[in-house]
Amino acid sequence: MKPLSIAIKWIAFLLLIIVILAMPKPALAHSVLLQALPAPNSILQAAPQEIRLEFNERLQKELYSIKVYDDKGELSTSSTTRMSANQKVISIALPELKSGVFTVTYHLISADGHAVKSTYVWTLGQPSDPQLPIIKGHSHTDTEAIYSFRIVHYLFLLSLVGWLLWLPFIRFATPIEKQEYTKWLRYFIHLNLFFVIQTILLQSVDSLDEITFVNIWALWTGTSVGIAWFSMLFISLLAYWVAKQSKWIVSIWVMLLLVTQAFSGHAFATDPPVITLILDWLHLLAASIWVGGLLFIILFLKNHRLLITRFLPIFSKGALLSMIVLIISGTFYALILIPKIEYLLYTGWGLFLLAKLVLVAAVMITGSRIRHYLKSENELSLRIWLKRDFTLMFGILIIVGIFTYLSPVPSNSPLDWRFYSRNEQRNITITPNVAGNNQFTVYLTQPIEKPEFKSVSIELLAISHKEIAPIKIPLKLLNQSVSKGDAAIEQFTFSAEGTYLAFPGKWKVKLILVDGDDNEAVSEKVMRIY
């Protein structure tokens, strides 16, 4: 089969993968909102002086904004959004505000190039409607298409780098073998360049709140990720020249290309980034050796059996070494990113990483079988296990392309606990629901003929520290009103604020209601603070 026809079939297959992966699904970027002041859905009696948003990692210095709207939909402040020196906090000053409901919307770009935007509301003074709105938590832009193109981009990036790195170790016996190798090299150069451009365009559109020439220029020239993108584009263009140069120039080119790839990813978002950048670079280099060599075997095995027979012993040693480097670098990289090992079970990033570990273990087993059949010269079994190795490789690339856009750290979100019983409603919110200061609000309704509540309280039990006695939260009556409709309904709003959630862990929230007849009703909910 001709290389061109094989390439066409591969591209068709990859486009099918793109279509499948581009189907709607929730997407997350890496920057996580740690704290918002005022907090989402909070009710304040005194006007704040500013809106302050704190994130878990550094942000880009350009294209960030906070806008505040009043209950008439008009901007409440024309102040400029500021960023802290450590690039983790953005804030905007507020003028003197009147009572009402305010909407905060923000947009920014994380250090690894992912766009983040979200909206939430808070109330100043007594709300005209005591019913608490449903909390809209921190969200990220929809990046399903970027997922898909990222996967294919990784495939051709690693294939191109590996293809070039293996060239000095391949012993061509005929000019035809060298010509076919060169043809595939050109295909990988073309495809890598295409998907680099495609990734830049998609992420640029995703990153911009408003697509204007000024914003595009600021993104491409004023952010570290934009500079990394165009450095990668320039280096990818150089591949046409580098492919004809000495192995030393090729080695320098490979190093630079993988460095720019590391700078455009999550490794650069850590603080400090030096260690994670080195680990990511080593990870990419080892992956390129494995992917490039395996792809060479799969593409040449049918028509160039003797060439592959000569190459397999070299590849077997190189693949084993690359897998060892992948495991070591990946382990240290993951340990740097996650505060606790148990967090692997609570995030999509962690679950995908565990899935990747399973596939890597399968690769190690597959590699041992390949080496076994290589020594025994069992060609049929060798072909079967090589194809299995390739399938596992593609599965790992899919996982890597997806979890690159997921956060390794679980994020806290406001608790919005609602339940109903006949004409009675119970609504408990804890916002921002972090270890530290929080606002606790309880909204209750009941038929007016029922006796009023004698006592309303919240108790917190630290499940992860059973030796600590329950923490009682004193609630104050914030509002009491009657809603007249088909049936008169009495509404109560209670509130408290304080550092009752003192540390991360698993907590049990108890709502204890005592009515005028001394009847006690207890409701419980378990939650986790990260």
Q: What is the pLDDT of residue 42?
A: 79
Give 210's contacts (C-beta < 8 A, 6+ positions apart).
none
**Residues 365 and 455 reside in one and the same domain:** no
Strand order in the sheet with 520-529: 471-473, 453-462, 505-515, 520-529
In a domain, 137, yes or no: no
Q: What is the pLDDT of residue 143?
A: 53
**Residues 60 and 120 reside in one and the same domain:** yes
Which one, of 245, 175, 234, lies nearest residue 200 by Cα?
234
Partner residues linked to 428 by β-bridges: 417, 442
Give the C-alpha separation, 354 to 214, whole Å: 42
**Residues 193 and 288 reside in one and the same domain:** yes
pLDDT in tens, 83-119: 998 888 999 999 988 888 899 999 888 877 777 888 8
**Residues 345 and 448 reside in one and the same domain:** no
Give the C-alpha separation, 49 to 351, whole Å: 41
Q: What is the pLDDT of residue 110?
A: 81
In a domain, 117, yes or no: yes
**Residues 331 and 235 reside in one and the same domain:** yes
Question: What are the two backbone dihedrals, phi and then psi, of residue 412, each rounded to the nearest 5 degrees?
Answer: -80, 145
In a domain, 129, yes or no: no
In a domain, 51, yes or no: yes
Give the C-alpha separation, 199 to 27, whole Å: 17
Residue 509, Cβ neighbours under 10 Å: how many? Answer: 20
CATH number for the domain that contains residue 380: 1.20.1630
Q: What is the pLDDT of residue 115?
A: 77
Task: Report DSSP state, residue 172.
Answer: -
How many domains is the chain partitioned into structurally? 3
Q: Which of 372, 403, 434 is the last residue of a domain?
A: 403
Give the C-alpha separation, 191 to 196, whole Å: 8
Cα dihedral 226, 232, 236, 239, rounded to 10, equals: 150
Apex CA 125: angle with CA 122 and CA 129, to 5°?
75
3-state secondary structure of 413: coil
Give the C-alpha separation, 468 to 167, whole Å: 64
CATH number for the domain that contains residue 477: 2.60.40.10
Which one, of 168, 171, 232, 136, lies nearest residue 432 by Cα?
136
Tokens of 230: 């165009």
**Residues 423 and 488 reside in one and the same domain:** yes
In a domain, 131, yes or no: no
Q: What is the pLDDT of residue 127?
A: 57
CATH number for the domain that contains residue 56: 2.60.40.1220
pTM summary value: 0.74
Q: Which of 124, 151, 170 is the last residue of a domain?
A: 124
Q: Which of 90, 124, 158 is the last residue of a domain?
A: 124
Q: What is the DSSP string of 342-410?
A: GGGGTSHHHHHHHHHHHHHHHHHHHHHHHHHHHHHT-HHHHHHHHHHHHHHHHHHHHHHHHHTTS-SS-
Query: With the C-alpha atoms ordered 336, 342, 343, 347, is the resulting torsion angle positive or negative?
Result: positive
Give the C-alpha separation, 463 to 466, whole Å: 5
Q: Tokens 């770009």 belong to which residue?
A: 109
Tokens of 184: 């595939």
pLDDT along the chain (530 residues), means of 10: 48 45 43 80 84 86 88 87 90 89 88 79 69 46 61 89 92 89 94 90 80 85 86 94 89 93 78 84 93 90 84 88 90 84 84 88 86 76 84 85 76 85 83 87 85 88 90 87 73 88 91 85 90
**Residues 57 and 116 reside in one and the same domain:** yes
Helix axes 144-166, 3-21, angle to 10 degrees: 150
* 436 Ramachandran zone, left/alpha/beta (phi>0; psi -120 to 50): left
**Residues 204 and 326 reside in one and the same domain:** yes
Q: Which domain holds residue 486?
A: 415-529
Q: What is the pLDDT of residue 146?
A: 63
In a domain, 157, yes or no: yes
CB 458 within 8 A of CB 502: no
**Residues 466 and 448 reside in one and the same domain:** yes
Q: How far is CA 146 from the centre of its chain?
A: 12
3-state secondary structure 19-30: HHHCCCCCCCCC
In a domain, 324, yes or no: yes
Q: How far is CA 346 from CA 26, 184, 341, in A?
A: 15, 42, 10
**Residues 20 and 37 reside in one and the same domain:** no
In a domain, 134, yes or no: no
**Residues 297 and 387 reside in one and the same domain:** yes
**Residues 312 and 232 reside in one and the same domain:** yes
